[in-house]
Amino acid sequence: MTGRVEAKLKDLGISLPKPVAPVANYVPYVISGKLVFISGQVTLGPAGLEFVGHVGKDFTVEQGQAAARLCALNLIAQLREACGGDLDRVNRCVKLTGFVNAIPGFAQHPEVINGASDLMVQVFGDAGKHARAAVGAGSLPRNVAVEVDAIFEIA
């Protein structure tokens, strides 16, 4: 039987990617008590890295939102793995932190990270509403435009 969250993903036309293994000395997630801390996810899509460059130069705010959404898809894929395949165990998204690889003077970091925040609410409803930080960065790993990490509470 398909769970409620999996059914929602299907209704939204979303197919989650396969969770990516770490490329360095860290783990994709840590479970401590009822909290799942998910390592930063970048703009890795089916064909490899997407959205490589700077928001405000190489990408518009709207493209940055798409990049943040892609990061959020990767977060949910890692979360599903942490939950043993059962996303219905998710009680809530507690916090997102989004990093935007932006040009000097760029000031629309929150609008970019809305791409990730909006997806969490679309998928998890009120349980997707979270605390958040949206931060500008001079550079990000592999020069990706956005990276997002998250904390979730699970049952």
Residue 38's CATH number = 3.30.1330.40
Per-residue pLDDT band for 11 (boundaries 50, 70, 90) equals: very high
pLDDT for 1 beyond 60: no
- Are 29 and 146 in contact, with CB atoms under 8 Å apart? no
SS3 98: strand
Q: Contacts from 51-54 at CB under 8 Å and sequence distance 24+?
A: 51/144, 51/145, 51/146, 52/142, 52/143, 52/144, 52/145, 53/101, 53/143, 53/145, 54/101, 54/102, 54/103, 54/145
The token pair that represents 2 in the structure block: 């398909």
For the chain, give the mean pLDDT: 97
pLDDT tens digits, one per residue of 124-136: 999 999 999 999 9
Question: Is residue 117 packed enough to be buried (19+ CB in 10 Å), middle (13-18) or exposed (0-12)?
Answer: buried
Residue 25 domain boundaries: 4-154
Q: Structure pTM?
A: 0.97
Looking at the structure of the chain, the number of domains it has is 1
Parallel/antiparallel/unpaired status of strands 90-101 and 131-137: parallel
Backbone φ and ψ for 143, nearest 5 degrees, come out as: 65, 25
pLDDT of 79: 98
